Chain A
Amino acid sequence: EIQWGEDGRPFHFLFYTGKQSYYSLMHVTFEKLLNVQKYQDQLIAQDLPLQKEKRNLAGSRWLTKIELEEMLLEKLSDDDYSRFIQLLQKLVALPGSDIEEKYIQKFSKEVPVQMQKVVIEPLQHDERGVAFSTGEGRRKTASATAVVYDNGTGKMTVNGIGILHYFPVLQDSREQLLFPFQFLGRVGKHDAVCTVSGGGRSAQAGAIRLACARALRSFVTEKEVEFMRQAGLLTVDPRVKERNKPGQEGPRRKFTWKKR
């Protein structure tokens, strides 16, 4: 696409920057920022209150770098993109930014708020009429299943062995096992029978913690399930051991640098 006329002069005044549409966008956005500041000053001069309408932080996100590139028909670098987003955030943070709402909406997208609705299983009852529920958990190669019974004394069994014998040394892992119960305030009220395999001491403890938290969802109100999620009890920990790369000794450590 030819961007200069017959005499060789380019049409756009920022042609020689190399990224004409990006820089013109930055200029326009900054002009809007200055407008907003002027509007704020006018309001202050007239002693009117500065309204701050809360933008829905949760429901919208900025355009991604790829979408912005499509919009501008130009390649951008990561640095350029982040600078643009910082400028937009600065514009939004000012109280008088309501006048520029239309302009800002061009660069923000609605995020569908619907998260995956997790189905909470109903309680099952075993032969004696005691309510119980199962849960599964994984952490770093360790996988665990926990069966949590109601009307219990707080005993916990892992692979047929009590927790004090299975985790002899670590106080950390014992704290982790009791974390879901302690958070809900039900320390002495449930019995748990767990099976676990794989991983190490700490990984097995984390897996059992997740399994117990998932099992406890059926015993507890929806609000408390939401509280558990916000405490980080119900998310699977995605951190695993990083793979070793060729040309290096470990995942990050490089070979010893020898000058000759």
Chain B
Amino acid sequence: RLMQVRWSRYNPSFLEPEVNKELYQKPLEELTEEEREQMELKAVRPIKAAPPSLSSSVFSDPMVSKFTNMMMKEGNKVLARSLMTQTLETIKRKQLEKYHKAPENEKETIECNPYVIFHQALKNCQPIIGLSNITKGGKTYQVPVPLKDNRKRFLAMKWMITECRENKHRRTLMPEKLSQELLLAFNNEGPIIKKKHALHKMAEANRAYAHFRWW
């Protein structure tokens, strides 16, 4: 009999909570078929408690909280959160400096919202295709494999954090280095984008082994 190692305190019939206020204020007619089914299911099944990082206010963003959790060391959420807010602040400052120095016609192209920059930068860093090790006939080959959305987001965030922790001068602080990297990624430059392109090139080079994949 298999012993479950990854289990949760909730019964498997519990559903995930939906925090977005606007979805609840939509009138019934505007919902699609699937959403109606979802609503009926939710009316009957019990629902898990909302985790402490999730809230319906405008300031909570699931992507940002995921990134903060990944940056956190030894459970020090306070420090991770403050680093994140400082990073967003530095991004805003840098962009505002650029904005005030730029001539009139370029002022509209400069993006000042740090959340937009964060999302766009991470989106630019996401690889489309990944490599996985498949053993066939005694030899291990690197086979190009399509990645799921979650995996892409995780890889982008992981590369960002490792890049900022390792390749920096001893005296620069994390928020400054992170904001630098995010701005470079926003413009499709920088070491993380290079890493993504290197991965794509490896996948293209190993195209011959693509038929080894059975899923």
A: residues with CB less than 8 A from B are 54, 57-59, 77-79, 113, 115, 169-173, 175-176, 178-179, 182-183, 185, 202, 205-206, 210, 226-227, 229-233, 235-240
CB distance from A251 to the nearest CB of B (A): 12
Contact between B37 and A176, CB atoms less than 8 A apart? no
Q: How far is the CA of A120 from the CA of B40 in the complex (A)?
A: 23
Q: How far is the CA of A175 from the CA of B54 in the complex (A)?
A: 9
Query: Which one, B1, B44, B49, B81, contacts A171 given CB within 8 A?
Result: B81
Tell me the dominant secondary structure on chain B's binding face: loop
Known contacts A57-B37, A58-B43, A59-B44; decide if A179 and B49 are in contact (CB<8 Å).
Answer: no
The 9 closest A-B pairs by CB, nearest first: A232-B17, A232-B50, A58-B44, A237-B49, A235-B49, A238-B9, A227-B24, A175-B55, A179-B55
Contact between B48 and A235, CB atoms less than 8 A apart? yes
Known contacts A54-B37, A232-B19; decide if A179 and B56 are in contact (CB<8 Å).
Answer: yes
How many contacting A-B pairs (Cβ < 8 A)? Answer: 84
For residue B2, which residues in chain A have a CB less than 8 angstroms away from its CB? 78-79
For residue B42, which residues in chain A have a CB less than 8 angstroms away from its CB? 230
Contact between B1 and A78, CB atoms less than 8 A apart? yes
Indicate the size class of the contact surface on chain B.
Answer: 20 to 34
Q: How far is the CA of A202 from the CA of B51 in the complex (A)?
A: 11
For residue B18, which residues in chain A have a CB less than 8 angstroms away from its CB? 230-231
Contact between A230 and B10, CB atoms less than 8 A apart? no
Contact between B57 and A178, CB atoms less than 8 A apart? yes
Q: How far is the CA of A181 from the CA of B119 in the complex (A)?
A: 28
For residue B53, which residues in chain A have a CB less than 8 angstroms away from its CB? 172
Contact between A231 and B50, CB atoms less than 8 A apart? yes
Q: List 14 A-B contacts (CB under 8 A).
A: A57-B41, A58-B41, A58-B43, A58-B44, A115-B46, A172-B77, A175-B55, A179-B57, A226-B43, A227-B24, A231-B17, A232-B48, A232-B49, A233-B49
Interface hits, B1-56 → A, CB 8 Å: 1-2, 9-10, 17-19, 21, 24, 37, 40-50, 52-56
For residue A179, which residues in chain B have a CB less than 8 angstroms away from its CB? 50, 55-57
Contact between A229 and B47, CB atoms less than 8 A apart? yes
CB distance from B68 to the nearest CB of A (A): 10
Closest A-chain residue to B14, C-beta based?
A: A235
Q: How far is the CA of A232 from the CA of B24 in the complex (A)?
A: 13
Q: How far is the CA of A229 from the CA of B57 in the complex (A)?
A: 17
Q: How far is the CA of A79 from the CA of B45 in the complex (A)?
A: 26
Q: How far is the CA of A185 from the CA of B21 in the complex (A)?
A: 9
Interface hits, B36-87 → A, CB 8 Å: 37, 40-50, 52-57, 59-60, 77-78, 81
CB distance from B129 to the nearest CB of A (A): 29
For residue B43, which residues in chain A have a CB less than 8 angstroms away from its CB? 58, 226
CB distance from A195 to the nearest CB of B (A): 20
Contact between B47 and A232, CB atoms less than 8 A apart? yes
